[in-house]
Amino acid sequence: MADIKGIIVPIVTPMNEDESINLDELRVQIDRQIDAGIDGIFPFGTNGEAYILSGDEKRQILEVTIDQVAGRVPVYAGTGCISTKETIEQTKMAERLGADVVSIITPSFAKASQEELYRHYCAVAAAVDLPVLLYNIPARTGNALEPATVARLAKDVPNIVGAKDSSGDWDNLQAYIAVKDARPDFITLSGNDSLILDALIKGGAGAIAGCANVYPHVMASIYDLFVEGKLDEAREVQNSIASFRAVFRYGNPNTVVKTAVAELGYPVGKCRAPFNWLPDEGIEELRGVLAENKQKGMC
């Protein structure tokens, strides 16, 4: 099984002006991330705009990602869809192409009970031999995966190996981490970039960090410094991304992240419409933050 730990980047999906996928630039971004010390590449996650990509586009992206990574780090594939049927199809596709791990977001739009979520994840996990990560981001999907359901899945399904929590709720994240008390090999990853170090201190394994698209070396160093026992330095690095995260108030965080990568000079394009607009004051503040952080050697 892949060694699931460290800082994993939910890599942006580069796009051309006509919103087609720029696979050549995807290869560039993959190398950029790995060269900076990132511990895993996660195509078509939330920052990769999975919600707006077709099944065929996801297949192309995953094929190129696996080819370009070439075994240097694990490849995580986000295969969650609204229906159990399509989620199984996408997860089997990822297994067939050679992904190391799948991350499965909760179904969205229709309200699901905890029993329905439990049955959904059991069915998907049973369809493949891959390690499965649960993915909780209720602000986006409208369905929260409660810690009790995570614990139940961890107990009942061997290849459900961990969970990513992007709720931003510290108590919820700690409750996920506590699942390892009953199943010691269960892995919890922070999906909130401001809670990475706190999660590591509590027993988390790392993070799937959108900000790594902009600051790969910085984000990777939070984990590396923690492992080295340099907690004060790790805390300084953790705090250094606060000014960038403050720009999120101007729009969708995915839009801010992808715009920032483009502002650094990489032709990743915009997010797909309609999720691609930031006000002028947001762009101005973003450019100021990037310039300030560049002077600090962050990017």
Q: Which residues are catalytic?
A: 135, 164
Q: Per the structure block, which two tokens stand in for 145?
A: 């995966």
Write out the H or E segment, with its range, that includes residue 230.
none
Contact partners, residue 63, CB within 8 Å, separation at least 6: 97
Instruction: Report how far residue 105's alpha carbon sits from residue 82's, in angstroms, rounded to the nearest whole number.
Output: 9
Q: What three-state secondary structure class fits 78? A: strand
Instruction: Report how far residue 198's alpha carbon sits from residue 47's, in angstroms, rounded to the nearest whole number.
Output: 22
Cross-strand pairs, 8: 40, 208
For residue 21, give the DSSP letter. B
Contact partners, residue 214, CB within 8 Å, separation at least 6: 244, 257, 260, 261, 264, 290, 299
Give the helix ranges, DSSP H, for 79-195. Answer: 84-97, 114-126, 138-141, 147-156, 170-177
Nearest to 117 by CA among 147, 140, 76: 147
Contact partners, residue 163, CB within 8 Å, separation at least 6: 133, 134, 135, 136, 145, 150, 176, 179, 186, 187, 188, 189
What are the phi and psi torsion angles at 188 (to 5°)? -120, 130
For residue 167, give the DSSP letter. S
For residue 187, give the DSSP letter. E
